[in-house]
Structure 1
């Protein structure tokens, strides 16, 4: 009996220590990148559809803005509700179910007879479904890579930028031929393509590295705010809560802003896609930084990036010329690319891999909650004042505040490393 028990323990240990090959890691990363491409990457395309929804349903901007802000917000915050289920049943099954549900909800929305149906089917159900894919991708990459984990997470975020670059132009072309409903039908098919990604993750779950004492880890307090690291984490959660909501003003409203300034929807779509393009460049720069300097503290490059993020907001709204709006888009795109690339590494640095899924879910929950409110408020400001100036200036001030918070976080972490005698 004792020999049998030892044999079972040995087999269990061998399975636990099973490591994925580089080829499998690459396949998992590519599958997760497509999931981000169509989850959060699709959000920016709703900025093009936003203009058409206002015209088609003759509705207020505040209501039309709820479609994109609710979709993006729930894509972020919904993961907190499903984090336990994903951890218990695996990322593969969760992705398969979410991909089918998301595709069906988007397809049904194309037959909507009023703006409220669009809000419910795309904003609510579509956002919740995509939140599962968005969080599952982060978790799968974190489990698949034991080495170069921060670099892999940075590469994952690049898929969002690719989606934000390519999808707005694709949606613009489809709207010109088939209208907004035709664009949504095609998008539903692209979402359904995430189903094979779920199958890849399901077949790879036996290779994922999880913590060997999960039960013990979950009993430990997540954040007590009794140490400098906990205070730094709390500050970073504040940053993660406020900047995605106010910082999304370009993604949500730059097409309508460009149209209101007389340049037309297509010119606005070009600016919107350039936000994604320069965001991709920023992510590439952030990934290169993490590759060259893997031990670099994330707080300093994040603080600098937020300063340029604020400059981008200010330039877009203060200067009316199309060329200066383009300059603002460049600042905004590159800076947010750095931010989104380095943000997962900051969470990993503050909480470690054991608490990383919970930290990502909490960060996404906070940012998603604020995004839903900010989208409505941005549209309401436009309805009330006839423009988006106030919304952009608020975003500028928030970005400056986030930059200050990151430098405070760096100071706190520096004190910690000095206390334990490790160079920062």
Structure 2
């Protein structure tokens, strides 16, 4: 054990005291008796006190380890050559510390360089895997598609093209129905309104049938129902027969076909979003091309021959549906909904913002549908030929499709400069209403009419593209399918009612100006209500 300065002091005191005792004993007289008491001098007492105090200080400074204090004889005395000064010990420890620090720093630098190199290798490997996966995805989308998949895709595209485009093309036949049966505008508008309304709200029937009997038989059932209605309309003797045949049977049958067609695409192309996007493009393609086709058939076969040929197109849905579901029918079975999951959650009906949005959207959409039904007859009444009227009819569908691309581009902008969806919804409804009000004035010039119809189609497409996003923002992902289903059903109901009301106003007033003014005014009121929703609930919508 290393001796401390305090130990040295105590030993020095012991030596002094021992030498002093020897000196005292040498001066004592020999005749002094052992019983005689010896009295210490002041110097002896001072030395004893000093020795005692040094011992007490030493004991008090020792750490208390529970071990007995060693006696003076047990202490190991350190030679002078082994003693080192505190300064030398401190210097050595400092040098050792700095050596350890430098070694740790070099070790950390080595680890950091290794970690950086490994992370760089991982990043490069990941980038290579992503590029390879994209390359494989492109090959899957373009080269690795089998002939069967291509055949399925073609058949389903034809199904969606016919079942969605045909109901919206009945507006071309609207003037022919009026002339043939000498019916009122309200009665003739009912045919088109019921067909277009059921294609929107009748999809729920198709969804239930897919869960019950599967996609293959659902497509067959819907196609046969639509064929029966279209074929039977050839023998129609009054307008109400057409309401049941073309409106109910064909509209509901086409709505039933649409849902399983989308299910088949998701089964055949489970990892290809491009296939789904192209299939959804069949909807506007049908609305754009079928009116032109029907107008051409009208010039040759009149309306009865046109609906007869159209029924043949519809019957081909059975063939294309059988081809598209041939392979999947061997392995697939009817899809069953989970029993523990609610099919319809009424909690979304307790969200005031959602209710206001879907009601205002349904009102605006129904006024547009009513004008869309009467547009061809209105253009003919102004003095344009049926061909020019049909061109106006299709231009709206073309620009409505382009508006979806515009909304997609807006979604790519940074959020700080991207307009909120509710603002786009309000502006599209407002300007669309203004165009409906101005349409009778613009119809005096064909080019002006075509110009405002272009902008009208843009505003319609923007609003239709925004409404699914608004439903998602208002109710969340869990309730989104139900919210979208409720929205589509309500739109279909309003569409069925709006057409006959618009035709009735035309019958009562004898002019389309009042009809368009009424439709534009109602749509503008709904748009103003939408602005109130924006002012009160915009922050909540953003945060949802």
Aligned residue number for residue 395 of structure 2: 274
Structure 1 residues 225 and 360: alpha-carbon distance in aligned structure 2, compared to 1, 3 A threshold? closer
Q: Establish whether residue 49 from structure 1 lines up as the match of residue 170 from structure 2.
A: no
Aligned residue number for residue 286 of structure 2: 163
1:305, CA displacement in angstroms?
Answer: 2.2
Name the CA distance, whole Å, in 2 between partners of 1:148 and 1:172: 36
Aligned residue number for residue 383 of structure 2: 262
Aligned residue number for residue 490 of structure 2: 366
Name the CA distance, whole Å, in 2 between partners of 1:235 and 1:145: 37
Name the CA distance, whole Å, in 1 between partners of 2:294 and 2:184: 22
Structure 1 residues 116 and 232: alpha-carbon distance in aligned structure 2, compared to 1, 3 A threshold? same
1:171, CA displacement in angstroms?
Answer: 0.8
Query: How many pairs align?
Result: 394
Q: Establish whether residue 300 from structure 1 lines up as the match of residue 419 from structure 2.
A: no
**8 Å contact from structure 1 (residues 300, 410) kept in 2:** no
**8 Å contact from structure 1 (residues 303, 402) kept in 2:** no
SS in 1 for 2:224: helix
SS in 1 for 2:390: helix
Aligned residue number for residue 247 of structure 1: 368
Q: Which runs of 5+ in 2 are unaligned?
A: 1-139
Structure 1 residues 400 and 345: alpha-carbon distance in aligned structure 2, compared to 1, 3 A threshold? same
Aligned residue number for residue 103 of structure 1: 227
1:390, CA displacement in angstroms?
Answer: 2.6
Q: Which runs of 5+ in 1 are unaligned?
A: 1-20
Name the CA distance, whole Å, in 2 between partners of 1:405 and 1:244: 15
* Equivalences for residues 180-195 of structure 1 within 5 A: 180-195=303-318
1:350, CA displacement in angstroms?
Answer: 4.1
SS in 1 for 2:342: helix
Q: Which moved more, 1:344-353 or 1:249-258?
A: 344-353
Structure 1 residues 204 and 56: alpha-carbon distance in aligned structure 2, compared to 1, 3 A threshold? same
Q: Which moved more, 1:103-112 or 1:360-369?
A: 360-369
Aligned residue number for residue 130 of structure 1: 254
Q: Establish whether residue 341 from structure 1 lines up as the match of residue 341 from structure 2.
A: no
Q: Which moved more, 1:79-88 or 1:272-281?
A: 79-88
Q: Establish whether residue 233 from structure 1 lines up as the match of residue 374 from structure 2.
A: no
Q: Establish whether residue 118 from structure 1 lines up as the match of residue 239 from structure 2.
A: no
1:67, CA displacement in angstroms?
Answer: 1.0
**8 Å contact from structure 1 (residues 70, 372) kept in 2:** yes
SS in 1 for 2:235: coil
1:393 to 498, 504, 517: 517
Name the CA distance, whole Å, in 2 between partners of 1:99 and 1:179: 24
Name the CA distance, whole Å, in 1 between partners of 2:505 and 2:209: 38
Q: Say which one has the larger Rg.
A: 2
Name the CA distance, whole Å, in 2 between partners of 1:42 and 1:90: 24
SS in 2 for 1:55: helix
Aligned residue number for residue 379 of structure 1: 503
1:157, CA displacement in angstroms?
Answer: 5.0
Name the CA distance, whole Å, in 2 between partners of 1:240 and 1:46: 23
Q: Which moved more, 1:407-416 or 1:97-106?
A: 407-416
**8 Å contact from structure 2 (residues 348, 479) kept in 1:** no
1:279, CA displacement in angstroms?
Answer: 1.9
Which protein, 1 or 2, shows the higher relative CO under an 8 Å CA cutoff with sep ≥ 6?
A: 1
1:308, CA displacement in angstroms?
Answer: 2.8
Aligned residue number for residue 127 of structure 2: none
Superposition TM-score, scaled by structure 1 size:
0.79
Q: Which moved more, 1:402-411 or 1:180-189?
A: 402-411
**8 Å contact from structure 1 (residues 77, 365) kept in 2:** yes
Q: Which moved more, 1:285-294 or 1:105-114?
A: 285-294
**8 Å contact from structure 1 (residues 65, 379) kept in 2:** yes
Aligned residue number for residue 5 of structure 2: none
Q: Establish whether residue 412 from structure 1 lines up as the match of residue 533 from structure 2.
A: no
Name the CA distance, whole Å, in 2 between partners of 1:75 and 1:298: 26
Aligned residue number for residue 128 of structure 2: none
**8 Å contact from structure 1 (residues 95, 133) kept in 2:** yes
Q: Establish whether residue 218 from structure 1 lines up as the match of residue 342 from structure 2.
A: yes
1:284 to 402, 405, 426: 405
